[in-house]
Amino acid sequence: MRIAVVTQPYYPQAGGVSEHVHHTSVELRRLGHEVDVVTAHYPEADTPTPGVYRIGRNILVPHLGAFANVAVGRGLGDEIGQLFEARDYDVVHVHEPLSPTLPLLAIERARPRTLVVGTFHASARRGVAYRAARPWLRPYSERIDVRIAVSQAARRFASRYFDEPYVVVPNGVDPERFHPRTPPLDLG
C-alpha cells in the first residue's frame, strides 16, 4: 500500500508523536509498504530526507501551558492536494487529525476513495478548543474512517467532543531493541 503519514510535529523536533510516526513508518516500510511522512519545514531541517515531504513552515504557538506545532504558509492546501494527487495514496494516516493546519488540510484534500485514519494522542481534563470548534470540526471528524487513540485517556478525551468509535492501540515497543537478552547501553 501507499501510505501518507501526516503530522505537525516531526524531526528534528523530538517528542512522543515524532517518535511514534518515525518508528511506525520504519516498520510499515519494513513490511513492504511505501510510506511518506508529510510534515512542515523546520528551520534546523534544511537537508532533504527521503520519504519526507515538508509543506509550509512550522511555528510554535502557546497552548495550554506548552507549545503546539502549526504549519503556516501560502498555498498549503493546494500543495498538499497536489502531493496527494501525484502520489495517489491508498491511506492517509493523520496524527492529531482535528488540529490545525496540516492535519485538517490532509483530511480535506484526501481523495474520496482514500482511507483516512486518525490517531489521537492528546488527553486533558478539558478541551476548550475542541468544544468551541466542534461544529466546524464535525465534517472533518466524520471524514475519518478509522479512529485510533493511543491510550484510554486519549480515547476518553476525544470521544467527549466527537462521539465516534475509537480503537485503542497503545504506542508500540521495538522488541528487538528492548529485549531482555539485548545488552544494556553503555552510558559511560
Question: C-alpha cell of 86?
Answer: 501525484
Segments forming the whole domain that contains residue 84: 2-128+140-168
In-domain check, residue 36:
yes
Instruction: Give the per-residue pLDDT at 49.
Output: 87
Into how many domains does the chain fold?
1
- Residue 65 pLDDT greater than 80, yes or no: no
In-domain check, residue 58:
yes
Q: pTM value?
A: 0.90
In-domain check, residue 50:
yes
- Maximum average pLDDT range among 55-59, 82-86, 127-131: 82-86
- Residue 82 pLDDT greater than 90, yes or no: yes
Q: Which residue has the cell 474520496?
A: 112
Residue 10 or 46, more confident: 10
In-domain check, residue 40:
yes
SS3 62: strand
**Is the preceding peptide bond at 101 cis, omega within 30 degrees of 0?**
yes
Query: What CATH number does the domain containing 19 carry?
Result: 3.40.50.2000
C-alpha closest to that of 4 among 107, 101, 82, 94: 94
In-domain check, residue 106:
yes
C-alpha closest to that of 160 among 186, 117, 125, 118: 125
In-domain check, residue 24:
yes
In-domain check, residue 52:
yes
Q: What is the pLDDT of residues 26-62, one digit of tens each?
A: 999 999 999 999 999 988 877 788 999 999 999 988 8
In-domain check, residue 44:
yes
